[in-house]
Structure 1
């Protein structure tokens, strides 16, 4: 009993009640104590005993102090008990009802039954916690294995669908069968909306430079329209999302995407990979006019007086990342200046260029 300390009886924020039982008496070893009739509470962290008549009387024992426990069956005139074996008293123990005890165990006597339910909760003490963690890990491994098994079946089915779509696409291309021009256009639009566009893969084009060259050509054809809609520049992260959405199950790795984009200029494709001073990477049309972009940023900021990256992004309809890079570029060439405060990073027209 000298391992118990006084407590308020309230659970901590990160503590959860597991089970509770009324009519429990505490024994110090084999000896009865004054803690005769109370409610036993088992939480995820502690064992608590609260007097059923004097609710302010509450003592607690950390589960880390418990080594193991065993059950004692009820007999003639004797109630069922659980024997709880304890660790030695810690040196920094807080005040409790007992200063010392000759026993290294306590007994919980269940006058109103409930010992079976309390005995089922084995996840106490160091050994119990480790056992519980091991059970949870095995359950997680089982769930992961089942999930991957289902995913493999799904991917196999998706592969069949992709192969079928390729066959139909080839028939359309070769004008085989009685398919009208309108039906051809409509069916192609269906395929594109599903994200199936015969993607370049390592299986079909090998690996290394040849693969990245073919991939770059396909990317150029797919990105032309989005780049024109976005003003000639799209962040590489957005390109990654657009590309993998269109490729369906044949996902592209970030490394392969970067290597393919680096081939744009060498293949003389109408776009290129650009890396800003901040390290942000974008795909940009070759026809993109940087002077016009800077002039547009200066004009917008001058109209509003000042703008943050977020405000500028909303006005011109681009991402905050690209908005910030445009404003920083205009600042780099001396057209804008900044005010970096606790409120936000704001950009102002550089009045030194316009006023004497």
Structure 2
């Protein structure tokens, strides 16, 4: 990070913007830099980073300082990164946010994707090396006044005018870009409010709404995800974080649980929650700790562990007697059932169906036939 220098963010003469990407975090080697999330701009000459809130916080790195770069794939809870290895800092370097660094490389972390296209364009610029192309000079001639009636700017005055014109155009483009970003954030808030109203309409079943519209609206809500996910950055760590997370899970999981018969495997809950949270992924440990607080916080959900060790989240109103009665009724109607057949009847996963049948067997209502054809349950007539 000590290779970066402060800059006003304006393009220099003969410099062209190649690509820009928002939602970018800088790393000083393996450590997070003391900078917020911002926008990274790749030009033909430099790598520019600008803070997304404080536009005056802007730093730049010359592409000529780059030795080589490589991709670092995303992982669980980690975003994709580009690792850039740099030459040693020069003695005449201009001041920047870091006076010295123990790392010979930096990392660009892409919180909102876009790393594939950015890596491709960076590869092109490092191959072409357009920053080495000399700036064309305009030579003043004495015959300029004898040409047509048009006035031509030549010499140093003409160069200064072109620089000023280029600066104004760049400043206008940057201003328009951030205005568009602000408008997008406003629209995002409107979409969140719209999603809530649609969710209430689906839940209450009021108004003229068809089944196809219901399915389409639910797909929209799932793609929008959670508006303000609970994170350690916003709610700290420990008990308070898990309590706030449990509240949010209680609101989010009610509708999916009702659609799935009142019970979901914890693995299914984990996938559903992380899909809705987008980039703010939740660890399995935090999910389990939050679910354990359902009962103490008097939420309408409960975490249950079956004898086999399978963990599920179920509605408080979902009693054990109802599960046993449902299993017994279905097995009695069909004569016998396997876990797979029972899962198709109730629309549950095979894992949860098997646990229900085993629970009914444990209470003495069912008996089993374990053969080479598989495990099949029968009404207990003994």
Larger-Rg structure = 1
Q: Helix, strand or coil: the match of 1:321?
A: helix
Partner of 2:111: 155
Deviation at 1:185, TM superposition (A): 3.9
Deviation at 1:191, TM superposition (A): 6.5
Deviation at 1:192, TM superposition (A): 5.4
TM-score by length of 1: 0.51
Partner of 1:301: 331
Q: Helix, strand or coil: the match of 2:228?
A: coil
After TM superposition, the structure 1 = structure 2 runs for residues 106-185 of structure 1, keeping only pairs within 5 Å, are: 142=70, 144=72, 148-149=81-82, 153-156=109-112, 185=197
Distance in 1 between residues matched to 2:194 and 2:230, nearest whole Å: 27
String of CA shifts for 1:224-273, please: whole Å, max 9, x gaps: 00111111111100100110010000000000000000010010000110
Cα distance change of structure 1 residues 169 and 311 upon mapping to structure 2, 3 Å threshold: same
> What's the Cα RMSD here?
3.5
Aligned partners of 2:70 and 2:82 also within 8 Å: no
Aligned partners of 1:166 and 1:198 also within 8 Å: no
Establish whether residue 227 from structure 1 lines up as the match of residue 265 from structure 2.
no
Distance in 2 between residues matched to 1:187 and 1:230, nearest whole Å: 17
Deviation at 1:289, TM superposition (A): 2.2
Distance in 2 between residues matched to 1:347 and 1:310, nearest whole Å: 11
String of CA shifts for 1:18-76, please: whole Å, max 9, x gaps: xxxxxxxxxxxxxxxxxxxxxxxxxxxxxxxxxxxxxxxxxxxxxxxxxxxxxxxxxxx
- Structure 1 counterpart of 2:370, from 323, 340, 353: 340
- Structure 2 counterpart of 1:329, from 359, 363, 368: 359
Deviation at 1:165, TM superposition (A): 7.4
Partner of 2:139: none
Q: Helix, strand or coil: the match of 1:200?
A: coil
Partner of 1:119: none
Partner of 1:17: none
After TM superposition, the structure 1 = structure 2 runs for residues 32-43 of structure 1, keeping only pairs within 5 Å, are: none
- Structure 2 counterpart of 1:273, from 265, 282, 303: 303
- Structure 2 counterpart of 1:211, from 232, 237, 241: 241
Q: Helix, strand or coil: the match of 1:283?
A: strand
Distance in 2 between residues matched to 1:331 and 1:238, nearest whole Å: 25
Cα distance change of structure 1 residues 320 and 165 upon mapping to structure 2, 3 Å threshold: farther
TM-score by length of 2: 0.47
Any unmatched runs of 5+ in structure 2?
A: 1-68, 75-79, 84-106, 115-177, 201-216
Aligned partners of 1:191 and 1:197 also within 8 Å: no
Q: Helix, strand or coil: the match of 2:312?
A: strand
String of CA shifts for 1:58-110, please: whole Å, max 9, x gaps: xxxxxxxxxxxxxxxxxxxxxxxxxxxxxxxxxxxxxxxxxxxxxxxxxxxxx
Partner of 1:249: 279
Deviation at 1:307, TM superposition (A): 1.0
Partner of 1:290: 320
